[in-house]
Amino acid sequence: MSTASPVHPLSSSRDAALDLIKWLALLTMLVDHLRHAWPSLYFLYVPGRLAFPLFCLAIAANVARPRAGVAKGVPLSYLGWLLLFSLLSEWPYRLLVPTTESLNVLPTLVLGLLIATAVQQPQRQSCWLGGAALLVAVFGHPWLMFGAFGAVLPAAFLLALRKPYAGWLLPMLCCLAANYWAPFYSDAARGDPFAWSVLGICLLAPAIGLALLRHKPPFAVPPVRRWAYLFYPGHLLVLVALRAL
C-alpha cells in the first residue's frame, strides 16, 4: 500500500512520484499525437488532454524543489534545454501538423518556467524575466499552444503545492481555460458526450496529477532524464514517417 507524502518544497531528493508523472506526460502526449498519423483515432484527444497539465506540474514541482549547490534564481540549465528543443521541435511539429496556427508546445513551457520561477523566487532578475514572459504570453496568446492560460499553469500548480487540496481549484480552472475551444462548448451545450469528456478531463487533469504527486508509487519508477527532451521532436518525426507509409 502506498503511503501519502505531500510534496515538501524543501525536499531535494529524487521523487519517484514526479518521475511517474513525467512518464505519464510522455505517454499521454504520444497517445494524443497518434491521431495526427491516423485520423480515425481522434477519440485519443480525450486522454491526450492529460499531457500538458502533467508537464506543467512537473515544471512546478522542479521549481519548488531546491537543488544542492545551485544558486537561487532562474534555472539556466533547465531554461536552456527547453529553449534549444523549442527551436529543434518546430520543424517536426509542422511536418506532423501542417495546418497548425500555433507554435509547438515547448515555447509555452519556456514562458511557464519563467513565470513560475518569479512566483517561487521573487528576486529582481526572476521577476523581470517572469514579468516579460507574462507579457509575451498575453500578447502572443494566439500563437501559443494552450495560450496565455497555458503559460501561467505551472505557476498555478506552484501555488496549489503550497496549499494542498484547498488550492487545487486554481490549476483546474486554469487548465480548463487553457484548453478553451468554442466548438466544444457549443457541442457540450447540446449534450454531446465527447465534448463533455474533453471538458471533464481538462478540469480533472490537474487534480489527478496533484493526487499522484502526493503518493509514493508502490513500484520502482525509472528516472526520466534529459533524453526526454529528444523524445518530443523524435516521436513527431517517427509519426510523420509512419503516416507516409
Domain chopping of the chain, boundaries: 16-244
Please, are residues 69 and 57 in contact by the beta-carbon 8 Å criterion? no
Query: DSSP label at 214?
Result: T
> Could you tell me the CA-to-CA distances from 153 to 8, 94, 118 in Å, in that order?
19, 24, 13
Q: pLDDT of 3-40, one tens digit each?
A: 344 444 434 467 899 999 999 999 999 999 999 999 99
Report pLDDT digits (tens) over 187-212.
Answer: 999 999 999 999 999 999 999 999 99
In angstroms, the Cα distances linking 135 to 111, 132, 148, 181, 189 are: 10, 5, 9, 22, 33
pTM of model > 0.85: yes
Residues 6 or more apart whose Cβ sits within 8 Å of residue 214: 4, 5, 6, 7, 17, 164
Give the whole-number percent of the chain exceeding pLDDT 70: 92
In the chain, the largest separation of any two C-alpha atoms, in whole Å, equals 56
Taking 3-state DSSP, the helix, strand and coil percentages for the chain, each rounded to the nearest 5, stand at 70, 0, 30
Average pLDDT, the chain: 92
